[in-house]
């Protein structure tokens, strides 16, 4: 059995935002449900529920009492990561970038070989939800670069949506379900 972590990098709907719904969160929940329906266990981390500190260029050890250290521990133990994030203005959302910076630590203080092992060959299923044309494509490029630097592999199965308000919800649900299923198969084949 594989170990999965799901990480949502959207704070939409957090605090005073009230009833606003994050498409990134909804799609992560859908992908998580598919993985769980296959008998797998998924540990869910949601930026709307956890106040990660702002990355200050410190090493991961300097944040050891904070949620980032707990997330890092789970990421080191998982085989598969469902990572869902918004992309705005042609860039990956700041919350997920900050979270990855916390997990990676200060790259200039880390031996490059250790840095490439931060995510220990974890297979990542990306879900990128943009706000405008090309946002998701640019967001995935940035995400892939950061994940590769930390040793992760990005699955060919993925969901990229430039603007969820312009996509038929039923088609989007089918896409997430299909791609998440492909991700589980890819991961199972890789660890078999």
Q: Is the pLDDT of residue 153 over 70?
A: yes
- Output the average pLDDT for the chain: 89
CA separation for the pair 93, 3 (Å, rounded)? 26
The residue range of the domain holding 127 is 3-12+21-191
Instruction: Tell me what pLDDT residue 120 has.
Output: 82
| Residue pair 136/91 in contact by the 8 Å Cβ criterion | no
Domain holding 7: CATH number?
3.40.50.360
Residue 1 clears pLDDT 70, i.e. is over it = no
**What percent of the chain shows pLDDT beyond 70?**
95
Range in 20-24, 121-125, 151-155, 160-164 with the lowest mean pLDDT:
20-24
CA distances, 24 to each of 130, 149, 150, 167 (Å): 9, 24, 23, 14
How confident is the model over 49-78, as pLDDT tens digits?
Answer: 887 888 888 877 787 667 777 887 888 889
Give the model's confidence band at 96: pLDDT under 50 very low, under 70 low, under 90 confident, else very high: very high
**Alpha carbon distance 82, 128 (integer Å):** 11
How many structural domains does the chain have?
A: 1
């Amino acid at each position: 059995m594989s170990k999965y972590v799901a990480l949502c990098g959207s704070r939409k709907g957090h605090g005073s935002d009230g009833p606003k719904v994050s498409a990134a969160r909804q799609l992560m929940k859908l992908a998580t449900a598919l993985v769980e329906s296959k008998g797998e266990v998924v540990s869910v981390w949601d930026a709307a529920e956890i106040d990660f500190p702002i990355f200050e260029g410190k090493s991961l050890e300097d944040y050891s009492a904070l949620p980032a250290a707990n997330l890092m521990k789970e990421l080191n133990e998982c085989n598969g990561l469902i990572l869902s994030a918004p992309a705005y203005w042609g860039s990956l959302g700041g919350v997920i970038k900050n979270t990855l910076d916390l997990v990676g630590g200060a790259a200039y203080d880390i031996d490059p070989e250790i840095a490439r092992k931060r995510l220990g060959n974890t297979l990542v299923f990306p879900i990128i939800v943009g706000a405008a044309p090309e946002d998701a494509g640019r967001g995935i490029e940035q995400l892939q670069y950061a994940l590769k630097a930390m040793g992760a592999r990005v699955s060919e199965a993925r969901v990229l949506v430039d603007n969820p308000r312009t996509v038929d919800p039923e088609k989007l649900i089918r896409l997430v379900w299909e791609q998440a299923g492909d991700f589980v198969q890819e991961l199972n084949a890789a660890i078999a």
